[in-house]
Amino acid sequence: MGLLQISEPGESPDPHTRRLAVGIDLGTTNSLVATLRNAIPECLPDEAGRTMLPSAVRYAEDGAIEVGHAALARRGDDALNTITSVKRFMGRAMSDLREEAAARYQFAPPTEANRGSIRIITRHGEVTPIEVSAEILRVLRERAEATLGGPLYGAVVTVPAYFDDAQRQATKDAARLAGLHVLRLLNEPTAAAVAYGLDQRSEGTFVIYDLGGGTFDVSVLRLTRGVFEVLATAGDTHLGGDDFDQALARHAFASWSLTRALSPSGQANLLAAARVAKEALSTDQTATLQVNWGCGFDSALEVSREQFEALTAPLVERTLSLVRRTLRDAKLAVTDVDAVVLVGGATRMPQVRRALTGLFGREPFSDLNPDEVVALGAAIQADQLAGNTREGGAAHLLLDVIPLSLGLETMGGLVEKIIPRNATIPVAKAQEFTTFKDGQTAMSLHVVQGERERVEDCRSLARFELRGIPPMVAGAARIRVTFQVDADGLLSVSAVETTRGVRAEIAVKPSYGLSEDEIVGMLKSAYAHAGEDMQARALAEARVEAQSLLGALETALAADAELLSAEERSALEERMQHLAHLVEGDDHRAIARAAEDLNRASSEFAARRMDRAVKRALTGRTVNEVL
């Protein structure tokens, strides 16, 4: 979740071969598409001049699929077939759903075959979150192609910084389904920083404050000598502009002394009216909240900005306390922050801007449209990746880092980290492993993600097997395992037995991923348990080593016992018993000492066996054969 800026030699920009590339902000509430025109990024409007496309998809009666404003308008009376906030479902399993989300639609029961993935039942049949998102992306692609006059070369699609492997993969799949070539998935705060040109500065510390329709995210970015890094990120996946609508709607409901509970469509009408009033209050001192209940029955209420701000002050305060916490996590004071960037439509509310100015003692950046800034940054990045270099030299490419370490399970339930947390991507790392048993011909590989030392405390991502390893003594096979994470943060793992060249590989694609809270939780527990984990690792390692030594000696004694005198043999066996006994306990130092002792005591035996083996191999062969 950090960024690294590198320079790539750009292709010479030729106006005739300029490739059409766009940036897409696939939002929870609204989505946008932007492109560079005459070196200036701009969002592309629909025929009605609107740049924002509500992230709503309705599966209509006549077999048609409505996307955007048309779909949203019918949410009240066709709720089960109108999917909104589908971003919350991306890369998730049924078991990840919160209760209120699970109550909004009808879902197909999870089965063994679909691995608990989310399927929403509509009048068009079952649809997956990936398909719903693809409908939104398709409309944006068509809008861009109609405006730019040709097929797109590719798109940069943005995702929240905390999105895990599964959520990123789902986003990429949706784009592919929509007929888009994904040049790169880009973190939303990074895109906002790029839109403001912060990557062009020499250094600085920036806070990206993103208050959208249903989510709040805050990230602290640091730029040093051209390298960007995310110092901390936090947020609330259920705090956004919608909560401000609800606060206002509750106030209106109470002041009208309505006695009956509202029908779902009445509720939708009230919330829509509250939203209109809320948005008007960002520019006006008063607004009228007006609801048409149908059958000629209306209600209206005048609300002042002051009233609205008093009603919603606790919501603003919740975002501020998350900002303060994020700064504490990054070990920064407010005075260390050089700029605050506003992202998300809800940051248009004056009370949000005032609160941030109060906290940081400076005005936040607001020159760009807060609901367009992510798409604009993505467009700049897309243009560079398409090879349409900006004037003035090489293109800057932003790279992210992986949020949690990736590794393999090794003997004793331990994790061997292959790619550490915060490694910049794309990255490939290889490590050699060997067999544990004599004659072992297969090896099972278990890929995990997390910071803890033990497998049971990490998240399991995938399992696969390498078969056909030539039988050899334990420790002789050379198995090279390579982890590769591409620029979008997606992992593939391959294993090769190097003497024989046997291969196995897997693209890691978990059925559902980690939530932001889980990532934060996993990091916290890694710090909290660091000491305890080191103990556990030391113990498990000592046990594995002791057991493999004992196993090897048992095999050797069974084969070549006559190489030892009776005394030598019983001395060795005594030490073996002592070690076997210690392995049952939990003193890793005692185990290591006894193993070392046994190793020394058996070295003479090993030498004699080696001698005999060499003699046997040489017997009856000529010098020419041997050399």
- Using CB under 6 A, list all residues that contact ligand ADP: 27-30, 212-215, 240-242, 275, 278-279, 282, 344-346, 348-349, 371
Candidate segments 51-59, 208-216, 235-243, 307-315, binder of Mg ion by CB under 5 A: 208-216
Write down the catalytic residue from 25, 135, 371, 488.
Answer: 25
36: amino acid identity, one letter: L
Q: Least separation, in Å, of the C-beta of 403 and ligand ADP?
A: 20
CA atoms within 13 A on the CB side of 92: 20
Q: Least separation, in Å, of the C-beta of 397 and ligand ADP?
A: 25
Q: Is 298 a catalytic residue?
A: no
**Choosing among Mg ion, ligand ADP, none, which partner's interface includes residue 213 (Cβ < 5 to 8 Å by kind)?**
ligand ADP
- For 558, phi then psi, to 5°, come to -65, -35
Q: Least separation, in Å, of the C-beta of 26 and Mg ion?
A: 9
Q: Is 210 a catalytic residue?
A: yes
| 160 binds Mg ion per the rule CB under 5 A | no
Q: Is 25 a catalytic residue?
A: yes
C-beta of 348 vs 396, nearer to ligand ADP: 348
Neighbours of 191 (CB within 10 A): 28
Do you know the residue count of the chain?
627
**Choosing among ligand ADP, Mg ion, none, which partner's interface includes residue 158 (Cβ < 5 to 8 Å by kind)?**
none
Contact map string, positions 252 to 281, toward Mg ion, x by CB under 5 A: ------------------------------
Q: What does the alpha-carbon distance between residue 445 and residue 463 come to, in Å, rounded to a whole number?
A: 6
C-beta of 29 vs 435, nearer to ligand ADP: 29
- For 345, phi then psi, to 5°, come to -55, -30
Among candidate residues 55, 14, 197, 212, the one with its CA nearest the CA of residue 138: 55
Q: Least separation, in Å, of the C-beta of 267 and ligand ADP?
A: 16
- The residue sitting closest to ligand ADP, measured at its beta carbon, is 241
Q: Least separation, in Å, of the C-beta of 212 and Mg ion?
A: 4
| CA–CA distances in Å: residue 545 to residues 3, 455, 551, 552 | 40, 18, 10, 11
**Choosing among Mg ion, ligand ADP, none, which partner's interface includes residue 282 (Cβ < 5 to 8 Å by kind)?**
ligand ADP
340: amino acid identity, one letter: V
| 370 binds Mg ion per the rule CB under 5 A | no
Torsion from C-alpha of 93, 99, 101, 106, nearest 10 degrees = 80
Q: What does the alpha-carbon distance between residue 450 and residue 519 come to, in Å, rounded to a whole number?
A: 8
What residues form DSSP beta bridges with 545? none
| Distance from chain centroid for Cα 314 | 30
**Choosing among ligand ADP, Mg ion, none, which partner's interface includes residue 449 (Cβ < 5 to 8 Å by kind)?**
none
Q: Which residues contact 555 (CB under 8 A, 6 or more apart)?
A: 438
Candidate list 23, 68, 160, 212; residue touching Mg ion; CB under 5 A: 212
C-beta of 377 vs 510, nearer to ligand ADP: 377
End-to-end CA distance of the chain: 56
Q: Least separation, in Å, of the C-beta of 459 and ligand ADP?
A: 27
C-beta of 372 vs 457, nearer to Mg ion: 372
| CA–CA distances in Å: residue 261 to residues 253, 264, 267 | 10, 9, 9
Candidate segments 58-66, 210-218, 271-279, 569-577, binder of Mg ion by CB under 5 A: 210-218
Candidate segments 19-27, 441-449, 510-518, 560-568, binder of Mg ion by CB under 5 A: 19-27
C-beta of 241 vs 377, nearer to ligand ADP: 241
C-beta of 245 vs 451, nearer to ligand ADP: 245
Q: Least separation, in Å, of the C-beta of 243 and ligand ADP?
A: 9
Candidate segments 7-15, 72-80, 211-219, 251-259, binder of Mg ion by CB under 5 A: 211-219
Candidate segments 212-220, 308-316, 376-384, 390-398, binder of Mg ion by CB under 5 A: 212-220
Q: What does the alpha-carbon distance between residue 532 and residue 78 come to, in Å, rounded to a whole number?
A: 54
Write down the catalytic residue from 66, 78, 87, 236.
Answer: 87
What are the strands, taking DSSP E only, across 305-356? 339-343
CA atoms within 13 A on the CB side of 245: 20
Q: Least separation, in Å, of the C-beta of 55 and ligand ADP?
A: 6
C-beta of 187 vs 389, nearer to Mg ion: 187
C-beta of 359 vs 375, nearer to ligand ADP: 375
**Choosing among ligand ADP, Mg ion, none, which partner's interface includes residue 346 (Cβ < 5 to 8 Å by kind)?**
ligand ADP
Helices 530-560 and 566-584 cross at an angle (nearest 10°) of: 150
C-beta of 27 vs 91, nearer to Mg ion: 27
Q: Which residues contact 122 (CB under 8 A, 6 or more apart)?
A: 59, 80, 81, 83
| 27 binds Mg ion per the rule CB under 5 A | yes
Write down the catalytic residue from 164, 210, 409, 488.
Answer: 210
| CA–CA distances in Å: residue 49 to residues 52, 144, 148, 343, 373 | 9, 13, 15, 21, 18
Q: Are 208 and 339 in contact (CB under 8 A)?
A: no
**Choosing among Mg ion, ligand ADP, none, which partner's interface includes residue 407 (Cβ < 5 to 8 Å by kind)?**
none
Q: Least separation, in Å, of the C-beta of 275 and ligand ADP?
A: 5
Q: Is 338 a catalytic residue?
A: no
Based on its alpha-carbon atoms, the radius of gyration of the chain, rounded to whole angstroms, reads 31
Q: Least separation, in Å, of the C-beta of 212 and ligand ADP?
A: 3
| CA–CA distances in Å: residue 187 to residues 43, 171, 182, 245 | 18, 12, 14, 27
Write down the catalytic residue from 66, 135, 165, 188.
Answer: 188
**Choosing among ligand ADP, Mg ion, none, which partner's interface includes residue 371 (Cβ < 5 to 8 Å by kind)?**
ligand ADP
**Choosing among Mg ion, ligand ADP, none, which partner's interface includes residue 51 (Cβ < 5 to 8 Å by kind)?**
none
* Size of the residue set binding Mg ion (CB under 5 A): 2
- For 598, phi then psi, to 5°, come to -65, -40
Give CB contacts under 8 A, 24+ apart, made by 411-417. Answer: 411/436, 411/540, 411/544, 412/540, 412/541, 412/543, 412/544, 413/454, 413/455, 413/456, 413/540, 414/453, 414/454, 414/455, 414/537, 414/540, 414/541, 415/448, 415/450, 415/452, 415/453, 415/454, 415/455, 415/458
Q: Which residues here bind Mg ion, judged by CB under 5 A? A: 27, 212
Residues marked as catalytic: 25, 87, 188, 210
